[in-house]
Chain A
Amino acid sequence: QLQLQESGPGLVKPSETLSLTCTLSGGSISDIRYNWGWLRQPPGKGLEWIGSIYYTGSIYSNPSLKSRVTVAVDTSVNQFSLKLTSVTAADTAIYYCARQFRDIGNPSFWYFDLWGRGTLVTVSS
């Protein structure tokens, strides 16, 4: 069954680095039709796209987070990862990994067609 699963610590201290991994099962992360993305939803707020990566390593990042975000992919184990540095309470959110369909060349048509269930990350001392 095709699915994505996030994993990582649920509690991170302020100023430290948030690290999450997403594992794809039932498919290949090297599928040329897709990017692999990270999104989040802070409590009481809307969804925010963080960044996406193609299996070749090409990265797309949200300009508002770019200086703190690292996204990486490991095709050998069908995983991709997120690192967010210097976290504050504002980074407390449910973090989702998702597959982003990119088959049509124009990025304005790309969308997220498979999501993980999400993992709550709380930033607190």
Chain B
Amino acid sequence: QVQLVQSGAEVKKPGASVKVSCKASGYTFTGYYMHWVRQAPGQGLEWMGRINPNSGGTNYAQKFQGRVTMTRDTSISTAYMELSRLRSDDTAVYYCARFVAVAGTYWFDPWGQGTLVTVSS
């Protein structure tokens, strides 16, 4: 079955960087864009950006430009999201989500289980 499995929880100090992985299985990894979405405690969903696993091309939300880097390793069907210069308000659950495009309609399915990143001194 199609599945995204993310790396485990992280605790980081302000100013540090974090790199979250998302391993895909059950489908052709290079055939679907991968997006990253985060959710601060008790808050809604916030889109961060996407990567084309085939070409490596990326698009980032303006808010995260200069701080986020999305990469992939096609040999192990894994996407990565690295966020630098962490602040306390970066504390959130980070999700990867496969982007599906079929016949002109678009959606996210499935989602990874989420990775909690806690930024605290």
Are the chains A and B members of one assembly? no
